[in-house]
Amino acid sequence: AGPDRRTATGEATGVPAVDVSARGAHLTTASGLRLHDTDHSLKAGPRGPTLLQDHHLREKITHFDHERIPERVVHARGAGAHGSFVGYGNAHTVTRAGFLGEGVETPVFVRFSTVLGSRGSADTVRDTRGFATKFYTQEGTFDLVGNNIPVFFIQDGIKFPDVVHAAKPHPDREIPQAQSAHDTFWDFVSLHTEAQHHTLWNMSDRGIPRSYRTMEGFGVHTFRCVDADGATSLVKFHWKPRLGVHSLTWEEAQLLGGIDPDFHRRDLADAIEAGAHPQWELGLQVFPDTEDQLFEGIDLLDPTKLVPEEIAPVQPVGLLTLTRNPTNYFAETEQVAFHLGNLVPGIDVTDDPLLQARLFSYVDTQLTRLGGPNWQQLPINRPHAPVNDMLRDGYGQQAVHGGVAPYKPNTLDGGCPFHAGADTGAFQEALVRVAESTKTRDVPASYDDHFSQARQFWLSMTPVEQEHIVAAYTFELSRCFEQVVRERQLLALANIDADLCAQVATGLGLPAPAATVPLPDVAPSPALSQVGGSWPAD
């Protein structure tokens, strides 16, 4: 068929590819001009002022001045690695996604991160961890952008700026650990009690992982999968580390923060370099795609809720192995950009209002972070599937497009066979019924329960895990100035468990309030305890 005229690359149009790697016998400018001196600027005499006409000086300094790009607004601190994913072939009953086929090997790039700290912050702080995976599949790039905690702070993405503002340092001093920042964080989570479940996970040992290699990962939201016959299921994604789930103690985390702030980054890179390639199994929890989108009374569209593994076992569907460290942190770990809309045929989104906002936010943020709309062309983000889009020009454009104007239908472009619906290999949205309704900002009644699953988590912990949780709440709340905030958070704890509340209240020297909602009768879920472990390491 010859080169594709619509999205021709430089090679296809005869323009030589640019070799921008720093090598060769001679030092040159960016335009390839050979230089004879890069150590001395051009001056009016040996002791004279520097001349504006020194184009090499100006290019060298100008480029240096612009070496930094904005750090991510959240998850700025991270470490990445390359690897591969191999499907087991058993997921075809749920999804037609090709990369899950038996023995299909797909290259991946994974970026682990903390959420709140800046690019140079310490690794071992108490925080949620990001676990974002880019699968370069033959059907297009699939981004699974998850965390090491299976639930989120908020039920609706419209609150994301609020929760992040409440947790980030204050504008005046920019001190991340300032008491004022503790006040605003605890103020937010005690007012928005939907955040209590995620916060309890943060106060548990999950908030201070031993290593990225010993973290679970969760897609958090429920996704909708479609099989080859068009049948749909609701699905939650899980990553299970082969090394098991392990954490630091709080004392270890604090010491390491001072002694080796790069502890997790170093641990990941050293392990990969030594050939101890970390592995995770990808697992699915699968639920029937019912009209109410509930499973055993749990609202699958509420991202502050999980589904206990005892009632929906995680089924392993493939294995991820990280085998190669990045060669250039900026080009790979910094420039990698994820997008929830990077989906493949067989995997679709649901109406979870947090997921819906994320579908907008990630692309939007790349426009400033990566300088324009062409960030998917950066080497680390380039799809491994052929690209034939109608997107043109813009900042950072790398393709040299030829042919006629990109629009469809089009009878002048050499007969492109594009007809909507004709391509069976194409992504097609799952055609689910949307309930007849009126516009509203109301939420379903099922979103009102903020405490049952937090209570279940607490009751599932072993005594030593409970001890750590009490110590973490006591330490963190003791950093608040505002008595009213501490008291309101104690009230939230009373609504989770009287014993938890009483122990933290004692530590703070405050009276323990009584619960204001009935304490639900929930069964512990052993898989939530990392001492029991949810999947045994082999």
Residue 145 or residue 317: which is nearer to ligand HEM going by CB? 145
Asked, as a colleague might, if the bond just before 409 is cis with ω within 30 of 0, I would say yes
Cβ–Cβ < 8 Å for 282, 131: no
Give the DSSP per-residue string, 71-88: PPSSS-SEEEEEEEEEE-
Give the DSSP per-residue string, 184-198: HHHHHHHHSGGGHHH
Q: Of 383, 386, 388, 385, nearest to 417 (Cα)?
A: 388
| CA distances, 27 to each of 37, 57, 512 (Å) | 9, 14, 71
Closest separation between CB of residue 240 and ligand HEM, Å?
17
Residue 95 or residue 304: which is nearer to ligand HEM going by CB? 304
Q: What is the DSSP letter of 226?
A: E
Closest separation between CB of residue 267 and ligand HEM, Å?
17
Residue 41 or residue 361: which is nearer to ligand HEM going by CB? 361
Closest separation between CB of residue 412 and ligand HEM, Å?
38
* Residue 460: Cβ within 10 Å count: 19
What is the number of the residue whose Cβ is closest to ligand HEM? Answer: 130
Helix (H, G, I), strand (E, B) or coil at 310: coil
Closest separation between CB of residue 342 and ligand HEM, Å?
12
Angle between helices 196-203 and 452-460 (to 10 degrees): 20
Cβ–Cβ < 8 Å for 157, 356: yes
Residue 150 or residue 346: which is nearer to ligand HEM going by CB? 150
Residue 60 or residue 324: which is nearer to ligand HEM going by CB? 324
**Length of the chain, in residues:** 538
Residue 79 or residue 501: which is nearer to ligand HEM going by CB? 79
Residue 338 or residue 458: which is nearer to ligand HEM going by CB? 338
Question: What kind and span of H or E run contains 467?
Answer: helix 463-478
* Residue 26: Cβ within 10 Å count: 9
Catalytic residues: 75, 147
Residue 151 or residue 245: which is nearer to ligand HEM going by CB? 151
Q: Which two three-digit tokens encode residue 241?
A: 């580390």
d(CA 80, CA 318): 20
Amino acid of residue 77: R
Q: Is 296 left (phi over 0), alpha (psi -120 to 50) or beta?
A: left
Closest separation between CB of residue 26 and ligand HEM, Å?
37
Amino acid of residue 167: A
| Residues 286/146/171/184 CA torsion (nearest 10 deg) | 40
Closest separation between CB of residue 133 and ligand HEM, Å?
9
Cβ–Cβ < 8 Å for 235, 351: no
132: which strand partners? Answer: 111, 145
Site residues, ligand HEM (CB under 6 A): 72-75, 78, 111, 113, 130, 132, 145-147, 152, 157, 160, 220-221, 303, 336-338, 354, 357-358, 361-362, 365, 369
Residue 169 or residue 526: which is nearer to ligand HEM going by CB? 169
Amino acid of residue 412: L
Closest separation between CB of residue 340 and ligand HEM, Å?
9
Residue 160 or residue 186: which is nearer to ligand HEM going by CB? 160
**Three-state DSSP string of 396-440:** CCCCCCCCCCCCCCCCCCCCCCCCCCCCCCCCCCCCCCCCCCCCC
Closest separation between CB of residue 471 and ligand HEM, Å?
26
Q: Of 176, 96, 160, nearest to 344 (Cα)?
A: 96
Closest separation between CB of residue 244 and ligand HEM, Å?
22
Q: What is the DSSP letter of 519?
A: -
d(CA 244, CA 397): 43
Cβ–Cβ < 8 Å for 523, 456: yes
Closest separation between CB of residue 103 and ligand HEM, Å?
28
- Spatial neighbors of 511 by CB under 8 A, at least 6 apart, are 505
Q: What is the DSSP letter of 330?
A: I
